[in-house]
Amino acid sequence: MNFLFVFSKLISLLSFSMFFNSAPIYCATDLGQDWKLELVPEMAPLAFDDELQKPKEKEFDSIILEVLKGWTKNAKMLGLMISNDDISNISFQPLKNGTPIFKKLNFTAIPLKFLGKSKDSKYLVFGSEVEKGIPLVSKSPLIFRRVVVREVFSLAKKKLVRVQVSIRGWVEE
């Protein structure tokens, strides 16, 4: 095998690995919100992925209702805080020549739902389904990509503490 070929494949694999494992990018924009905004690289793990538990029936109903009611306000705030460049910075398919990677960034169009509680029972987690996220432009007609949101509510502080925005997708055959 050609040394340059092997070397280039190794470099691309390392680059992908570093990007995928990178930590969230904290957004500096502050509009007076109580929560921290994290922009998470495309397909990187979100808060409490794979460790959510379903609470006892009606255990957190009043909090769930309160958080879901507050989503519209938070969604409008996200629309003011996050730009096309921000989404491009976390995307596998970044912005090229000023071409937007999304048609319209309207977070109020994303339906949020309760996903579960953390294993330690300290947090309630809310999020959007991938299919119902904001559509992004894709290089292939078989690849579908969406902007998704995850909210983390602290039971100890009785407030939202983190809002994560990322990109998820799927391939259809």
pLDDT tens string 80-107: 888 888 888 898 877 666 565 665 678 9
CA distance 22 to 48: 16
pLDDT on residue 102: 62
Does a structural domain hold residue 15?
no
CA distance 32 to 170: 35
Does a structural domain hold residue 11?
no
Does a structural domain hold residue 6?
no
Does a structural domain hold residue 5?
no
CA distance 110 to 119: 26
Does a structural domain hold residue 4?
no
* % of the chain with per-residue pLDDT over 90: 53
Is the separation of the CB atoms in 91 and 101 below 8 Å? yes
Mean pLDDT, to the nearest integer, of 117-141? 91
Does a structural domain hold residue 167?
yes
Token pair 């559509």: residue? 135
pTM over 0.85: no
Does a structural domain hold residue 139?
yes
Does a structural domain hold residue 165?
yes
Instruction: Give the total number of structural domains in the chain.
Output: 1
- Two tokens at 142? 């078989």
Q: Which residues pair with 99 in a beta bridge?
A: 96
Query: Cα dihedral sign for 41, 43, 45, 48?
Result: positive
CA angle 50, 169, 93 (to 5 degrees): 125
Domain that holds residue 46: 24-171
